[in-house]
Amino acid sequence: MRTLTKFFFLSLMIAAVAPAARAEDRAGFLVGANLARLSTDGDVDSSTDSNLMFGGFAEFELSETFYIEPQFRYIEKGGEIATPNANADYDIARTLKYFEVPLHFKWKFRQGQAFRPYAYIGPALAFKVGDSTTITPRGGNGAINFNTTNDSARTIDFSAEIGGGAEFNFTDDVALRLGAAYSLGFLDVNESPNVWKTRGLQLFAGLGFAY
């Protein structure tokens, strides 16, 4: 964990000096869905749950094709958890809520064109801000929602993201972006003996503005 943290903050230092390299930068916002699940061990299985994500970004151009993009976002991770008891008459959905700071190393193609595909890879450090559980009876009598205790899941998650998409430049100053990414968590976020690692397929849209 210490090595991963050092790598993340070194990457942030690189991003901090990036604005001096080029003047053609953008900032904006994004919103989307995180199709999240938990990678588990033992007798516990997890399936995908649809969760929310939204936030902002700042994109710094280092060359015509290479960019660094830190983001600041709220994201919900977790998944639907199957109980070991086959006779159980309820389903459990666990939602872990984070403030997350990804740092993307980004490549854009077709420079000078209105339509620009892109691809990126980078780390993401997340700090837990909430934790909730939803129990849904299989008979369809309504769900029960409650906040779990603060120590039921670890407060930090560290993951790697790889993704891509396309930008559509309406003008020189405004661009629409559409994209998708896969997030692979490295840390066990569960305090119990069962290992939980976060996974997610992120689908998002956003607007970027030159400044």
pLDDT value, residue 24? 72
Instruction: Say how far apart CA 92 and CA 100 lie, in whole Å.
Output: 24
Number of domains, the chain:
1
**Tell me, what CATH number does 6's domain have?**
2.40.160.20
pLDDT digit string, tens, across residues 108-153: 998 888 999 999 999 999 999 998 888 877 666 665 665 655 556 7
Instruction: Say how far apart CA 51 and CA 77 lie, in whole Å.
Output: 7
pLDDT value, residue 44? 65
What does the DSSP 8-state code read for residue 12?
H
pLDDT digit string, tens, across residues 42-91: 666 778 889 999 999 999 999 989 999 999 999 999 988 776 565 666 77
pLDDT value, residue 170? 93
Residue that is written with structure tokens 């560290």 in the block: 158
Residue bearing the bigger pLDDT, 83 or 23: 83
pLDDT value, residue 136? 76
**What average pLDDT does the segment 23-48 reach?**
86
Residue bearing the bigger pLDDT, 95 or 18: 95
pLDDT value, residue 178? 98
Query: Which residues, at least 6 apart from 86, have a Cβ–Cβ distance to it below 8 Å?
Result: none
pLDDT digit string, tens, across residues 87-118: 666 778 889 999 999 999 999 998 888 999 99
Range of the domain at 191: 2-210
Measure Cα distances from 58 to 17, 42, 179 in Å: 13, 41, 16
pLDDT value, residue 85? 60
